[in-house]
Amino acid sequence: MINIKRSQKPKGKINYHDKDIRKKIHKDFYHLCYLCENEVFTSYEIDHFYTQKNSPDKINDWDNLFLICSDCNKIRPKKEINKKGKEVLNPCCDDVENLIQLRFIYNDNDINEPEKIEIKSINRNKKIKNTVILLNKIYNLENSFSKRDRFLFYDKINNRIQNFKNVLKQYFKIKENCRRKKNIGKKIIEFLRKDTIFKRVGRDDNSIAFISFKRQIIKDNPDYKEFEKCFD
């Protein structure tokens, strides 16, 4: 999950079906599903953080409209979410980037074969706990196997991660501070910044999808510390 800085509420009456409203939401969410961080350029839906059924007064509330992929929209439990005691973190208000950690756990026999996604938090309040449970459903699809092919999804995320790790490896292999190293460093920053998506739309290799995983790799290794300062 990534923090989202929502743009100012559009003037006038909002209708979430409106093309312009959807366009604005797309931009605010960097074209990413707010739950799984997959790109949603074409196949997307608008999610109501407080559900339409439980909060009919919030159906067209600007702060209640979130960009979601159709898979996550099926997995997210509509009936109970954000009811009292079931609240989850809101990436537009809560610092989800520092509260939730996402990592791949790899198979012991094959270091490139992802086995599951670990979702962790150092803080354990109720809201965070509920979010971890939800993200477990989203990524590890407990009880929801039919909704999305888990391993196909892992492959997609893992390809991006391996690609990112390869660029990191190239960077640290070069000892002297030459132009080539600088250029590779720039590429790493592109992988880590949310605004990259606007420059590279449609280009798989540098897209910012699954940015939380890549940033976690940087946070987990003190040798990579120099790249932490480029997080936006």
Nearer to Zn ion, 69 or 184 (CB): 69
**Binding of Zn ion at residue 72 (CB under 5 A)?**
yes
184: three-class secondary structure by DSSP? helix
130's tokens: 């509920």
DSSP string of 118-167, one letter each residue: EEE-S---HHHHHHHHHHHHHHH-TT-GGGS-HHHHHHHHHHHHHHHHHH
Q: Which of 1, 2, 32, 33 touches Zn ion by CB under 5 A?
A: 33
**Could you tell me the maximum CA-CA distance found in the chain, to the nearest angstrom?**
60
Rounded CA-CA distance 8/30 in Å is 15
Q: Which stretch binds Zn ion (CB under 5 A): 14-22, 71-79, 84-92, 147-155?
A: 71-79
**Binding of Zn ion at residue 218 (CB under 5 A)?**
no
Q: Which stretch binds Zn ion (CB under 5 A): 65-73, 91-99, 125-133, 149-157?
A: 65-73
**Binding of Zn ion at residue 69 (CB under 5 A)?**
yes
Rounded CA-CA distance 139/153 in Å is 8
Supply the minimum distance, in Å, between the C-beta of residue 157 and Zn ion. Answer: 11
Q: Which stretch binds Zn ion (CB under 5 A): 27-35, 46-54, 117-125, 185-193?
A: 27-35
Contact residues toward Zn ion (CB under 5 A) are 33, 35-36, 69, 72
